[in-house]
Amino acid sequence: MGRTPNNLFSKLASVKEKLLPATQGLDDKQIQRIICHCWYYKLGRRKIISEKEREVYDLLLSHGISSKTVYEWLRIADSPDHIKQKISQGTIGMREASSKKYLWNRMVNRRNGKEIMEQVKVIVGGLEWKDTNQTL
């Protein structure tokens, strides 16, 4: 089991709040892209970054926040609800959550996966649930 803080999502919210002056009006995908560029800039894979990316990078440095960590948190925050719930409960770690997210997206994005998901929705939606307090 990986070492994942139970309050990962609250930490991410705190980081987003600290970055708010530079990221106001941007959605999570745009913030994720900017932070990815900051991370690549730190690694030396990008030679130049835009003014907005520079502003975010400076805020990250001033608060002592790792761009790689924030990027990974944003990727996990984009996961389906059942994976987020397992992270919140502490039953899976970051690495396992990332792996499950990849497999989930792969299954859902395939044509057969979409058909299976639609069939499951129809089947589950058509089931009549019995009261569990009844005895047989």
pLDDT digit string, tens, across residues 66-112: 999 999 999 988 888 888 888 888 888 888 998 988 888 887 777 77
* In-domain check, residue 34: yes
Residue 31: band (very low, low, confident or very high) from pLDDT cuts 50, 70, 90: very high
In a domain, 22, yes or no: yes
Whether 49 is covered by a domain: the verdict is yes
**12-29 pLDDT per residue, tens:** 999 999 999 999 999 989
Q: Model pTM? A: 0.71
Residue 87 lies in a domain: yes
Q: How many domains does the chain divide into?
A: 1
What would the mean pLDDT of 42-71 be, rounded to a whole number? 93
Percent of the chain scoring above 70 in pLDDT: 85
Range of the domain at 83: 8-124
| 35 located within any domain | yes
For 78, list phi and psi in degrees, rounded to 5: -90, 5
Does 2 map to a domain? Answer: no
Only one residue has tokens 């805020």, namely: 59
The verdict on residue 129 lying in a domain is no
Q: Is the pLDDT of residue 8 over 80?
A: yes
Q: For residue 7, name the pLDDT band (cuts at 50, 70, 90).
A: confident
Please tell me the chain's helix, strand, coil percentages from 3-state DSSP, rounded to the nearest 5.
70, 0, 30
Does residue 30 sit within a domain? Answer: yes
Contact 113, 107 (CB under 8 A): yes
Is residue 83 within 8 Å of residue 104, measured between CB atoms? yes
